[in-house]
Amino acid sequence: MFFYLSKLLDFLVNPLVWIMGLMLFSIFSKKAYRKKMGLRFAVGVFFFFSIDVISFLFLEAWEVPGKKLVDVQKHKVAVVLGGFTVMEAEPFDRVHTNSEADRLLHAIKLYESGKIDYILVTGGTASLWKVNNTEADLAHDLLRTCGVPEKAILIENKSKNTHENAVNSKKLLTEKGLWGDEIILLTSAFHTRRAMACFEKENYKVFDFSTSMRNHKMHWQSLNIYLIPSFDSFYRWNLLIHEYVGFTIYKLLGYC
C-alpha cells in the first residue's frame, strides 16, 4: 500500500499538476474574481518554478557535495542504491540507463581504484507494470560487462524504496559476514540526505559518496538562468519536492 501511495504522491507534488489545477479552477469558476485569482496564481506558480536560478539555489542548499577519490579511504563494501535503469525500455535484450547511472559507474571506479572489495547493488522494481527483471539484477549484468568479477558483486533485489534498501542490505551484509564495517553509500546528490538518514537509522556507519550533481558552478555564468523559463527547472523542482516530502514522511514513520 505504501508503494502505491508514494506513486500517487509523486503525481500530487508535481508543480505542473498544481498549475494545471489552477488553470482548471480558473476556467470552470463562475465568478469573475475567482477566474482572475486562479489565472494569476497559475502564472505566478509557473514563473517561480520555471526560472532556473531559483531551483539552483534550492538545489545547492539540499544536495550533498561529492567527494574526491583521493579523500576516500579503503572500505570493504560500497552500497549502490537503484534508480539508474529504465525498466520498461525496449528492446529487453540490453540494459537501459538514465541520468542517475553515475551511481553505478562511480562504484566501478572505486573498485578499479582499489578503494572497495565489494559492490552491493540494492533495488527491486519501482515500476507499476510487470517487468522481467529487477534493477539489481540488471546492474549485475552491467557490472559483469564492465569487468567486475562475480566474487565482488552482491545483489539485493527485493527493495522498493530507500527504507527497504537499508533494511534488506543490512540482512544481506550480515549473512555475508560483512556487517559492522563502515560502508560507502552511493546515490545521487539530491537523494543523499534521505538515504544517509535511512541507513544511519539502521545503525550503519556511513561514508557518503554523492553522484550525479545537478548544480555546477558553470550554470551561474549564464544569463539564461536568471531570465528565461526552463522546463529543466520543473524537473529539478519535482526531484526536490519529492525529497522534501519523502524525507518528512520517513521522519514521521520512523524510517530515518
Tell me how crowded residue 169 is: count the other CB atoms within 10 A of its CB.
26
Buried b (16+ CB within 10 A) or exposed e, 108-119: bebbeeebbebb
208 vs 63, 67, 76, 114, 178, CA distance in Å? 12, 8, 14, 17, 18
Q: Report H helices in the chain.
A: 2-12, 15-28, 32-50, 52-62, 102-112, 135-145, 162-175, 192-201, 224-227, 231-253
| Class of residue 133 by CB neighbours under 10 A (exposed 0-12, middle 13-18, buried 19+) | middle
CA-nearest of 62, 20, 11, 29 to 236 is: 62
Q: Which architecture characterizes domain 69-211 according to CATH?
A: 3-Layer(aba) Sandwich (3.40)
C-alpha cell at 77: 563494501
Query: Residue 185: beta bridge partners?
Result: 79, 208
The structural domains of the chain, with segments of one domain joined by +, span 2-63+231-253, 69-211
pLDDT for position 93: 83
Please give the mean pLDDT across all residues of the chain.
92
The interaxial angle of helices 192-201 and 231-253, nearest 10 deg, is 20
Give residues with Cβ within 8 angstroms of 8, minimum separation 6.
none
Residues in the chain predicted with pLDDT less than 70, given as ranges, are 1-4, 6-7, 126-131, 218
CA-nearest of 169, 219, 218, 208 to 52 is: 219
Cα torsion at 215, 54, 86, 208 (round to 10°)?
A: 40
pLDDT for position 186: 98
pTM for this entry: 0.89
| Class of residue 198 by CB neighbours under 10 A (exposed 0-12, middle 13-18, buried 19+) | buried
Query: Residue 155: beta bridge partners?
Result: 121
pLDDT for position 226: 84
CB under 8 Å, gap of 24 or more: what pairs does 18-27 form? 18/45, 19/45, 19/46, 19/49
